[in-house]
A and B are shown apart, each in its own frame.
Chain A
Amino acid sequence: MPARAEISRDEVAHLAELARIDLSDAELDHLAPQLSVILESVASITAVAGDDVPPTSHPIPMTNVFRDDVVRPGLTAEEALSGAPAVEEQRFSVPRILGDEQ
């Protein structure tokens, strides 16, 4: 039996808030059960993963892929800012920040 993976409506509401997605009550009612179904489907994988299959975060068993500490050309400020909706003083202009620095 796959592990039961349920996600509550409250959890979905909390995740939506963390992801800055504005969901209405109707959307939460609709999406929470759907997400539960998706999680259950994914959880069925655990049924076929025996003790001989270790959990992994990367499909290729590689370690220590490093880069030498050598400067490479990047973008000019003009290029970097070319896609920005608003620019001021050669900086990305962003709307007033609610909340706080990390």
Chain B
Amino acid sequence: MSTTELKTFEEALESFDPAMGLEVHVELSTLTKMFCGCPTEFGAEPNTQVCPTCLGLPGAMPAVNAKAVEAAIRIGLALNCEIAEWCRFARKNYFYPDMPKNFQTSQYDEPIAFEGYMDVTVPVEGGEDEIVRVAIERAHMEEDTGKSLHVGGATGRIHGADHSLVDYNRAGIPLIEIVTKPITGMGEKAPAVARAYVAQLRELIIALGVSDARMDQGSIRADVNLSLAPKGAGGLGTRSETKNVNSLRSVERAVRYEMQRHAALLSSGGSVLQETRHWHEDTGITTSGREKSDAEDYRYFPEPDLVPVAPSREWVEELRATLPENPTVKRARLQAEWGFSDLEMRDTVGAGAFGLVEQTIAAGATPTAARKWWLSELARRANEAGVEITALAVTPAEVAAVQGLVDAGTINDKMARQVFDGLLAGEGTPEEIVASRGLALVSDDGALGAAVDNAIAANPDVAQKIRDGKVAAAGALIGSVMKEMRGQADAGRVRELILEKLA
């Protein structure tokens, strides 16, 4: 692979204005597929969730999943879109074995939702958050494709593969594609705006309960369109479309990278090729995919096997009434309720832990404890494992249970960390892990008393200070007792015993 020329991010901004378009695919968590009754569970054995319809066998007819239409309308409404009074599905024709029908059933010029917006809270380094209104072009219904495994290539990619193996379990799972209008005028904030938009959209999708929104499992996938125009000239340059950017951090990095790559091409008198690009998570670069087909090459036409979707205004209003609180409003409300500073709130949201903290508090933990565990301990572990924090095998209820054990004096913070080790290793519930790992604190006065006596005997000088009223010196004795008890003593009770004995 030849090395791609890049300008620095600063150089790119000196000469060019970026424009972005973000396309986000949301895989709905309906029980069944978009056009057939096959289940949609993630991780099933290959080709076990298929039927004649999603395999495109002759004569099979599609039937629209009502729940998916409902989810599409609710997403549209939450994005302040208008909902079409009448719209159709269309066939997008292309030859690729990920769709056995040789077309994808999608929507073309009649999306179910259009002309909306989202007010995105963008964190500004060392300043107040900024609100940026991102205009939504459309949200439309379509179906996911099958999964291809390329065999024989060095890296599992298409290039160099001798043949491919296809699993159609995912083919036909309902997708909602949400497309922004070009986002311009953002300058140096462009990468942060892109990230904040996808993050907030993801929060909204979770709040709507229409998808589990796991970026690591591909249930939310972002495509980043980027173009540069000469500074101050207005207009839009030729864009590249970077596909399947699968983490929030990567969305930001992909925008930065493409800005730098385009700037280098344009500055040297070259031009940007209109093409799709592959994002490489490991190296943080994009590589050339295919030249982008013109829309007309897909020969879209209305799907003759499905009748139009015409949501009644009554239905739309019923669905509007089910919308959750606007996440931006909710965030402000909860920040006040929890007593978090702006910085604490921003860190919580930035770590992708807002919903987790909220659920942990709902499960009984204090806001401080919930934030402490997610942002210090669990964010670090997610980072080490290279996964999103929401993908950790620890639930908010478990975090609240661990804190409950700390509050009850059963374990201390240090042991709590070992309980998290156990939870991540799938060793059972917090209580089971405390039992199986023998983590409970000793608060039994008999055992503690003996250790306290030993500590006093071993440290006569310290003991004398405490007798003289220097209570702060007790820390040294507590440390000595904890050492003897291998950390498993209830520090509060130890302190009480020391002060009683030396009174």
A-side interface residues toward B, CB under 8 Å?
18, 20, 57-58, 60, 62-72, 74-77, 80-81, 88-97, 99-102
Contacts and interface: CB of A to CB of B under 8 A. Distances in A.
29 contacts: A18-B93, A20-B95, A57-B88, A57-B303, A58-B307, A63-B310, A64-B307, A65-B64, A65-B307, A66-B66, A69-B30, A70-B37, A72-B37, A72-B38, A74-B50, A77-B45, A77-B46, A77-B50, A88-B151, A90-B47, A92-B165, A94-B164, A97-B148, A97-B164, A99-B95, A100-B289, A100-B290, A101-B145, A102-B96
B95 to A, nearest CB: 5
A18 B294 CA distance: 11
Which 7 A-B pairs rank lowest in CB-CB distance, beginning with the nearest? A72-B37, A74-B51, A57-B302, A100-B290, A91-B165, A69-B67, A66-B66
Given A93-B165, A102-B94, A74 B46 contact: no
Contacts of B32: 69-72
A19 to B, nearest CB: 8
B52 A75 contact: yes
Contacts of A94: 97, 163-166
B379 to A, nearest CB: 33
Contacts of A57: 88, 301-304, 308
Given A63-B307, A74-B49, A99-B96, A91 B167 contact: yes
Given A66-B69, A74-B37, A58 B94 contact: no
B31 A18 contact: no
Given A66-B64, A69-B31, A69-B66, A101 B98 contact: yes
Contacts of B30: 69
B30 to A, nearest CB: 5
A44 B67 CA distance: 42
Contacts of A75: 50-52, 55
Nearest to A95: B163
A97 B66 contact: no
B102 to A, nearest CB: 9
Contacts of A102: 92, 94, 96, 98-99, 104, 145
Contacts of B49: 74
Contact of B64 (A62, A67, A89, A97): A67
A100 B241 CA distance: 13
Contact of A91 (B47, B92, B303): B47
A92 B168 contact: yes
Contacts of A68: 66-67
Contacts of A58: 302, 304, 307-308
Chain A's interface: helix, strand, loop or mixed, by majority?
Answer: loop
Contacts of B98: 101-102
A67 B163 contact: no
B66 A101 contact: no
Nearest to A65: B307
Interface string B67-106: 1110000000000000000101000111111110000100
Contact of B97 (A65, A97, A100): A97
Contacts of B166: 91-94
A77 B47 contact: yes
A59 to B, nearest CB: 9
A77 B307 CA distance: 31
A90 to B, nearest CB: 4
B276 interface: yes
Nearest to B86: A63
A71 B161 contact: no
A80 B37 CA distance: 15
B46 A91 contact: yes
Interface in B8-52: 30-32, 36-39, 45-52
B65 interface: yes
A60 to B, nearest CB: 7
Given A70-B32, A97-B148, A60 B50 contact: no
Contacts of B385: none
A63 to B, nearest CB: 4
A90 B45 contact: yes
Given A60-B307, A63-B308, A69-B30, A74 B165 contact: no
A68 B69 CA distance: 11
Nearest to B312: A64
Contacts of B304: 57-58
Given A65-B306, A94-B164, 4 more contacts: A57-B301, A58-B307, A77-B50, A101-B243
